[in-house]
Structure 1
Amino acid sequence: DLGTSLSHVRILWMARCCLNDLDGITSLQSLEELYVAYNEISDLSALSMLEHLRLLDLE
């Protein structure tokens, strides 16, 4: 799972990484910015658990 030992990551850039889901993203409790443009992610519900997330790039 993504993020199992990365709890202090604040910015994550994963554009064009062929992602289908965000499994494990809730482990990144310090995440403030997430760049996941040009992926095939259909379910963003896990992001609601990230209270510090202030920027989401899905373009």
Structure 2
Amino acid sequence: MDSVNVMILPVAFVFGKFGKMYPSAGGSATFVGTAFGFLYLSIIPIGPLIICFSIY
């Protein structure tokens, strides 16, 4: 078992637990939105601008 498998294993367990707690079709977007609420939605208009400016 290499180090990537060891690092991804806890993430897989957490996503499995979240999937059981919040069984909607949203996936990771639902989990992050539930955790951070309005802050998650406020990042959407800012993220693309950051990416555009970081390329140049």
TM-score relative to the length of structure 1? 0.20
Comparing both structures, which one devotes a greater share of its residues to strand?
A: 1
